[in-house]
Structure 1
Amino acid sequence: MIRTGEQYRESIRDGRAVYVNGEKVRDVPTHPMFRPLVDIRARIYDMAHDPAHAEVMTLTQDGQVNAVGNALPYTQDDWWAKRRATDEVLNTVGGIVTRVGDETVGEMWSLHDGADVLAEIDPQFARNIERHIQEVLRGDPFHVSANTDPKGDRSKAPQDQDPDMLLHVVKESDAGIVVRGAKYETAAAYANQAFTKPTIANWGSESMSDYAVGFICDLGSPGLKFICRTGFAGRAPAEDYPLANKFDEVDTIVIFDNVLIPWENVLFYRHTRAATFIRATLHRYSAFAFVQRNLKLADMMIGAALFNARQTGLEKQQAVQEKLSQLAVYREGINAHLTASIALGERSPSGLMMPNQSLLYTGRVLACSQLHEMMHIARELCGGQICVTPDAASFSHPETAPWMEKYYSINDDWVAEDRRKLLAFARDMLNSDYAGHRLTFQLFAQAPPFAHLAAVYRNFDWDGPLAFVKDAAGLSDRVLGGRTLTPDDSGVTKWSDPKTRNAAE
């Protein structure tokens, strides 16, 4: 059954070794750097029990109430339900949190699709992924993702430098495998488990590589150490930085110092084909929830910019309207890709409903590649006051408050305190350390830009443009190497021989 927020808090009081800002953390749930996100994740758990949210946040299967975000998607309606649940969370907490489970759990469904690949290595591996998917659904852990290694010198193979630069297996036993290395994991210090798998790197050219390993890691396991970057929470007053103090998802380098992974948690091992498969398909589901966050960020930028334009009477200027329209086009472009990816969803190899892969991945490129430009437009619309406005204390100090009231009150509708709050919100979203971190996170969190484009290349249907140009230009079949392109029953142009098409690809 779905856990409560308090059950989640207790679950991460497991003696884990967490370090931040030069100190060892005594209690993760109450530490000022972690508490804001722990409280939000606990709030998400409690929403499932709250009558005001439960209908959107939960579903009943086999007599058990489960979280919508954890459920395998079989229909388009399942994806609409997931989208509604994510919106419910973001609207309720009043900001954007990404690594809270609904995004990261989707990565395991890709291995569900690759059960035949896992069974090639060991049938037990295929059974393991099915069991873990059910355990996530029934047990409701806080599940995150572990991808990126330190990597070291990328011009060298991992075997030719310190071998721990990429996570690898150092020993096998009857109990399981023992691994060494490190992974960067957002939210790991306050999560329950992580799907740990190879990074985008050379994990060894041998077909049976110790670096080609994937497993579910219990984040309370002995031998793990969590070394976190200093968070933004508490650096400055929340009145001046309302987003940084509440929504900073702390990133961690997780040290695996000879950590035992039981065999029942191993999903693949010493098989580069499985590693290649998971890297190619990792985001076929999780990209949806990731891109949905960009849609919410677009809404935040539009709202802040439009309020700033309206309160100062600039909304009627054509130049301002044009910039607002650019933000709207960006927002609706993301919305269109998400909506169409559901409407044109496609079946996965295991029978799940995938968002349309080409539309989903092109939507991700649109959302991430244009974000910096949209943030700059929003800065222009908000005006220079977002970088020069004094802090909240100046608005309350008896000697300076009258001046702040005089120069920041615009009319009866926009008094100084509301204007200060709006400018602080916009500054934190667009100009602060947190804003820069959010921009970089959206660019790299699911993979670097070249990998985003590689996913588009692998999933775009190139056949239609080829067929159209072949016929429009009057080209012979020879240009297709003797192959032919014909429309299928639904009118979509495909290679006439699927085997030939696969070989060509």
Structure 2
Amino acid sequence: MLRTGEEYRESIRDGRKVYVNGEQVDDVTTHPMFKPIVDQRAMIFDMAHQESTQATMTYVDEKNGELNAIGNRLPRTQEDWSDKRRAVDLTLREAGGVVTRVGDETIGEMWSLFDGQDVLNEVDPRFSDNIRRHIERSITADTFHISANTDPKGDRSKAPQDQDPDMLLHVVRETDNGIVVRGAKYETAAAYANQAFTKPTIANWGNDKLSNYAVGFVANLSSPGLKFISRTGFAGRASAKDYPLSNRVDEVESLVIFDDVEIPWEDVLFYRHTRAAAFIRSTLHRYSAFPFVQRTQHLADLMIGAALWNVKQTGLEKQPAVQEKLAQLACYRENINAHLTASIAMAEKSPGGLLMPNQSLLYTGRVTALSQLPTMMHIARELCGGQICITPDAASFEHPDTKDWLDKYYNVNENWIADDRRKLLAFARDLLNSDYAGHRLTFQLFAQSPPFAQLGAIYRNFDFEGPLDLVRKAADLSDRVTGETNDAAKLATRV
């Protein structure tokens, strides 16, 4: 059933061992570095109940007539994707910033498992029921579901077993009840989520067919033996008046320690078979890349809005040089929008009977969005001007000795008074220049695998046969060459 925000808060008051900034956290729902983002996730749960937002955030289950969250619904039609897109847009608008690891983006990785049941059954048929049951539970139980991918890794030139074995998460033994795992994972939102689809990173297995490192499961984040060592959050480090995004939408990452944690057999999704693990890695983002790229579009909208308001308040919006830079930001935004829209307009049936975004268009959209992001942030900085890095803080605008001077020099006219200018400059600074902004940029670049892996996904999904056939005919190549190139194209498409 749909949970309320308070029910979610209560579900993570479970005595979990969370550490941040050199202290153990008693309650993540009230700690100043976690509370803002916990409140954002609680707000999303509550939006499913509020009359003004419920229709966008939920759908009616055809079997039992119950309301469920639209983000968790298995996508079978183009309308399903349109509904999801509207829900994400509404969520980000209500959040007043970009929130990523809030469930609807990470649940798509479970749908990739749903598609891969035939492949997984070929190597080990024990776990298909677990996959289907967990997907159903994510829909009906309305849990906060996240993703766990990255290990500490250690020396990447060595196989996992040739160094400290705990550098990559692995199975240390089996029990009657399940498997016992040891190691660590970096996970965004783990300290305040309910469960995580935990899976292997890209590992050096060599030619091994079986490996204790090739394991995937749903981890109950309340399990004994888990410890969460979180990075210092941005919230609470400075005034929310000066850093509104840092204090509202910072999503805290944790190094999650699995200290001999037992995973029940019913929560294991694949185990030991390196072929299964490699298959899952190769298809991991076939759905989840869509909301991830959509959130980058929202970030583009924030940059456009911040930049345009800044040039308008100083009367520069009619300058051709300014318009040119605004047009560059608009092209970037619409390029993302075009890839998202086209990937659904040309969507494909998945192996499991779902509707997946056109893979070539989706992955090229992701690379376009992320590879150009640093340049677009710099253009937005240029448009916002140097005042975003030199404007005094809110306390100075309020202090009786300095307020009159700052009012004098920050008032522009009757429409732009000092307080509004300060708010706009503070927002732009936090969006583009702050510690949070730098963190956000790096997160966007690497959150769905490093750039080389993203380009690898394009290589595996682009249809090379069309260009090969075009040049074969235009250059009048012989049949012998035609056969060789077609074989190469098929191989590239199949990998």
The TM-score with structure 2 as length reference comes to: 0.98
Amino acid across the alignment from 1:288 = F
The answer to whether structure 1 residue 99 and structure 2 residue 116 are counterparts is: no
In structure 2, relative to structure 1, the CA distance for the partners of 1:386 and 1:483 (3 Å cut) is closer
Q: Is the 8 A contact 1:166 1:203 kept in 2?
A: no
Structure 1 letter corresponding to 2:267: N
Structure 1 pair 435–502 and aligned structure 2 pair: CA distance change class (3 A): closer
Answer yes or no: is 1:33 the counterpart of 2:29. no
Instruction: Render the CA deviation track for 1:407-447: whole Å, top value 9, x for unaligned.
Output: 00111110000000000000000000000000000000010
User: CA 1:385–1:151 in 2, change beyond 3 Å: closer, same or farther?
Assistant: same
- 2:37–2:250 CA contact under 8 A, matched in 1: yes
| Mapping for residues 15-30 of structure 1, pairs under 5 Å | 15-30=15-30
How far 1:34 moved relative to its partner? 0.5
Q: Secondary structure at the match of 1:212?
A: strand
Q: Cα deviation per residue 1:316-373 (whole Å; 9 max; x = unaligned)?
A: 1111111000000000000000000010000110110000000000000011001000
**Equivalent position of 1:465 in the other structure:** 467
Letter in 2 for 1:345: A
Deviations 1:190-234 (A, max 9, x none): 000000000122245411100000000000000000000000000
Give 3-state SS (helix, strand or coil) of 2:305's partner.
helix
**Counterpart of 1:148 in 2: which secondary structure?**
coil
CA contact (8 A) 2:172 2:181 kept: yes
Find out whether 1:7 has 2:12 as its counterpart.
no
Q: Which residue of structure 1 lines up, in the alignment, with residue 42 of structure 2?
A: 42
Amino acid in structure 1 at the alignment position of 2:326 = L
Distance in 2, matches of 1:233 and 1:410, equals 31
| d(CA) in 1 for partners of 2:484, 2:307 | 56
Measured at CA, do residues 504 and 65 of structure 1 come closer, stay the same or move farther in structure 2, by a change above 3 Å? closer
> What percentage of aligned pairs have identical amino acids?
72
Q: 1-side partners of 2:484 and 2:361: how far apart? A: 30
Deviations 1:105-142 (A, max 9, x none): 00011010110122123323111100000000000100
Which amino acid letter does the alignment assign opposite residue 395 of structure 2? Answer: A
Q: Give distance in 1, aligned partners of 2:55 and 2:339.
A: 26
1:226 aligns with 228
**Which residue does 1:56 correspond to in 2?**
56
Report whether the alignment pairs 1:198 with 2:204. Answer: no
Where in structure 2 are the equivalents of 1:329-368 lying within 5 Å? 329-368=331-370
AA aligned to 1:215 is: F
> How has the CA–CA distance of structure 1 residues 420 and 484 changed in structure 2, closer, same or farther, with 3 Å as cutoff?
closer
- Tell me if 1:110 matches 2:116: no
Give the distance between the partners of 1:163 and 1:203, measured in 2 at CA. 13
Give the whole-Å Cα distance in 2 for the aligned partners of 1:219 and 1:501.
41
Work out whether residues 118 and 267 of structure 1, in 8 Å CA contact, stay in contact via their aligned partners in 2.
no
Q: How does 1:464-503 map to 2 (within 5 A)?
A: 464-481=466-483
What is the Cα-based RMSD across aligned positions, in Å? Answer: 1.5
Equivalent position SS for 2:75: coil
Does 2:280 align with 1:268?
A: no
Report matched runs for 1:439-454 at 5 Å.
Answer: 439-454=441-456
Match of 1:259 in 2: 261
Q: How far apart are the structure 2 equivalents of 1:60 and 1:124? A: 32
Q: Tell me what 2:161 maps to.
A: 159
Shift of 1:475: 1.5
Offset at residue 503 of structure 1 (A):
9.2
Maintained 8 Å contact 1:158/1:204: no
Please tell me the residue identity of whatever aligns with 2:38.
Answer: V
Separation in structure 1 between the aligned mates of residue 466 and residue 193 of structure 2, nearest angstrom: 45
Is the aligned partner of 1:187 residue 2:193?
no
The question of whether the paired residues in 2 share the 8 Å contact of 1:121 and 1:268 is answered with: no
Q: In 2, Cα distance between the equivalents of 1:219 and 1:141?
A: 11
* Residues 465, 486 of structure 2: 8 Å contact kept: no
The whole-number CA distance in structure 2 between the counterparts of 1:250 and 1:484 is 48
In structure 2, the residue matched to 1:292 is 294
Code of the aligned partner of 1:436: G
Give how far 1:484 is off: 6.5
**Gaps spanning 5+ residues in structure 1: where?**
486-493
* CA separation of 1:119 and 1:388: change in aligned 2, threshold 3 A: same
The residue aligned with 1:491 is none
Counterpart position of 1:235: 237
Q: What pairs up with 1:381-392 in 2 under 5 angstroms?
A: 381-392=383-394
The residue identity in structure 2 corresponding to 1:332 is E
2:146 pairs with one of 144, 157, 160:
144
Question: Structure 2 vs 1, CA of residues 198 and 414 (structure 1 numbering), >3 Å: closer, same or farther?
Answer: same
Residue of structure 1 aligned with 2:429, choices 427, 430, 434 = 427
2:316 matched residue in structure 1: 314
* 2: CA distance, partners of 1:168 / 1:408: 58
Distance 2:168 2:492 in 1: 32
Does the CA-based 8 Å contact 1:150-1:182 persist in structure 2?
A: yes
Distance apart, 1:470 and its partner CA: 1.0
Q: Deviations over 1:219-278 (max 9, x none)?
A: 000000000000000000000000001110000000000000000000000100110011
For 1:437, the equivalent position in structure 2 comes to 439
Q: Per-residue deviation at 1:481?
A: 2.0
Counterpart code for 1:374: M
Equivalent residue for 1:169, pick from 168, 171, 174? 171
Structure 1 pair 483/469, CA: closer, same or farther in 2 (3 Å)? closer
Question: 1:252 is paired with a residue of what secondary structure?
Answer: strand
SS of corresponding position for 1:342:
helix
Give, in angstroms, the shift of residue 55 of structure 1.
Answer: 0.4
Shift in Å at residue 501 of structure 1?
6.1
| One-letter amino acid of the counterpart of residue 60, structure 1 | V
CA–CA separation in structure 1 for the residues paired with 2:207 and 2:97: 44
AA partner of residue 156 (structure 2):
R
Compare 177-186 and 315-324 and name the one that shifted more.
315-324
How far does residue 92 in structure 1 lie from its aligned partner after superposition?
Answer: 1.2
Aligned with 1:133 (options 118, 132, 135): 135
Once the two structures are superposed, residues 33-87 of structure 1 have per-residue CA deviations (whole angstroms, 9 ceiling, x without a partner) of 1100110100000000001000000001121211000010001111001000000
- Aligned residue type for 2:313: Q
Q: Secondary structure at the match of 1:422?
A: helix
